[in-house]
Structures are given as C-alpha cells and as structure tokens.
Amino acid sequence: MKALGDLVHWLTDPANWQGSHGIPVRVFEHIELSAISVILALLIAMPIALYLGHTGRAGFIAINVANVGRALPSLALLAFGLVIAISLGLGLGFWPTVFALVPLAIPPILTNAYVAVREVDRDIVEAARGMGLSEGQILRSIEVPLGLPLMLGGIRTAAVNVVATATLGALVAGGALGRFIVDGLALQEYDQLMAGALLVALLAVATEVSFAALERATVPAGMRAIR
C-alpha cells in the first residue's frame, strides 16, 4: 500500500508537472511520436491496400502481412530501428523509435483496409460501374465510405500498439512517457516508475476508446439499420 501512497504523492507533486521533463511535456511527446508514426504508416499502407483491394490482386500477401507483423517483437523492431537510424546518421531518440513504430503499424492498417474494400458487396460495385462511375469514383464514393469502419478498426489496432510501444523509445534515449518508466527502473524510484506506467496505460486505453467511438460514428447512415 505504501507504493500506492508514493504514487499519489508523486503524481500530485507540482514539481513533476513543470518544465521540459514534466508530465505535460512527456504526454505531448508521446502523442506526437505516436501520431507521426501512425501517419507515416497510413501514407505507406493505405495506397497499397486500396489499390490491391480495388483490383483484388495479391490478396494472399495483403492478408498474411498481418501475421508476419505479429511475429515481429517490438523490442526487435526497436533494435532494427536503431541500426537503421544510426547508419543514416539520424542519431538517437526520436527517429530510431519512429523506424520501429512504422513497421509495427503497417500490417494491421494494410490488412484491414484491404479486407474492408474486398468485403464491399460486389453487386453494389457492379451497379456503380453500370451507372457509369469511374474506377476512381467507385473507390472514393463507394468502397472507402462503406469500408471505413473496418479500416478504422485496423488503424485502432495500429494506434494502440504504437502508443504502447512508443514507451520503449526511452531505451534509445528518447523522451515520451517511457522516460519515467526507464528512469524509474534504473534509479529504483518506484513512484516515478508506477506513475509513468499508469499514464501510459491510461493513454493506451484512451486511444482504444476514442477509436472505438470513431468507428461507430463512421458507419454510413444507410448501413446502421441493418447492423
């Protein structure tokens, strides 16, 4: 119980809420790092997934990418990220972590977006084609809106994984909330350790909950009745 008391004391100490090592700065760094990584992953994965989904090509690869992704341990990705960042001369901290987080985020985004487009009723797509919509229009105004909830499901998985794994960035001298955990471990300051852990856990759960709400909100009006 003493640990809990120390934790509350640490969290309510004004000194921990100020300056460049304070909680608000670390939370911001964590969100910034996660957001940039997810956006980079989206920029890479979405065009590929939409193209493959629309044309129906390479389904086997698009689906199995997710299984391969699961086998890549986050700490191993960080190790590879570090090797790449150092050999590109990008230094420690931010970039090695981004290089670890982007490959972590790509598989769920890619697979879900591919499946989302494929699962759109082919009759609807045929009808649209019959009405003279171009392939681009079919993708934009039929496949993407109808598949959006499923696509967001993949982005949610990716985002939660990224927020969780961004913690490890502190191992390669990065900032973000992992700093509290890694420093707390190294210095055996359990109040700092637990506070960092609690904040990361809350951020991960908050990410999950917000994306779940977003998913529900994006189900097209016409699809809600039949769900």
Partner 1 sequence: MTPGEPLIRWDWLLSHAGEIGQRVGEHLELTLIAVAVGFLIAFLLSLAALRVPRLYGPISWTTGILYTIPSLALFALLIPYTGLSLLTAEIGLVSYTLLILIRNIVAGVRGVPAEVREAARGMGYTDRQILWRVELPLALAVIFAGIRIATITTIGLVTVTALIGQGGMGYFILLGIQLFFSTALIVGALGSVILAVLADGSLVLVQRALTPWTHTP
- Which of 58, 63, 185, 214: binder of partner 1 (CB under 8 A)? 185
Give the C-alpha distances (Å, rounded to integers) separating 159 from 83, 131, 143, 190.
Answer: 24, 38, 23, 28
Please report, as residue ranges, which positions from 45 to 84 form the binding site for partner 1 (by CB under 8 A): 70-80, 82-83
- Which of 31/171 has CB closer to partner 1? 171
Neighbours of 93 (CB within 10 A): 18
- Which of 42/163 has CB closer to partner 1? 163
198 binds partner 1 (CB under 8 A): yes
Could you give the CA distance from residue 220 to residue 151 in angstroms, rounded to a whole number?
Answer: 13
State the residue for tokens 């637990």: 194
- Which of 133/173 has CB closer to partner 1? 173
- Which of 51, 190, 214, 219: binder of partner 1 (CB under 8 A)? 190
- Which of 20/87 has CB closer to partner 1? 87
Q: Are 81 and 149 in contact (CB under 8 A)?
A: no
- Which of 35/164 has CB closer to partner 1? 164
149 binds partner 1 (CB under 8 A): no
Neighbours of 104 (CB within 10 A): 24
- Which of 57/70 has CB closer to partner 1? 70
Could you give the CA distance from residue 153 to residue 223 in angstroms, rounded to a whole number?
Answer: 17
Q: CA angle, corner 221, sides to 215 and 227, nearest 5?
A: 70
152 binds partner 1 (CB under 8 A): no
Record the tokens describing residue 138, joined without a space.
Answer: 């079919």
Give the x/- contact pattern for partner 1 in 165-184, rule: CB under 8 A: x-xx--xx-----x--xx-x
127 binds partner 1 (CB under 8 A): no
What DSSP assignment string belongs to 59-119? HHHHHHHHHHHHHS-HHHHHHHHHHHHHHTT--SSHHHHHHHHHHHHHHHHHHHHHHHHHT
150 binds partner 1 (CB under 8 A): no
91 binds partner 1 (CB under 8 A): no
State the residue for tokens 């790449």: 84
* Piece in contact with partner 1 (CB under 8 A), picked from 32-40, 112-120, 144-152, 162-170: 162-170
Q: Are 184 and 196 in contact (CB under 8 A)?
A: yes
How many residues lie near partner 1 (CB under 8 A)? 40
Binding site for partner 1 (CB under 8 A): 3, 70-80, 82-83, 86-87, 160, 163-165, 167-168, 171-172, 178, 181-182, 184-185, 190, 193-194, 196-198, 200-201, 204-205, 208
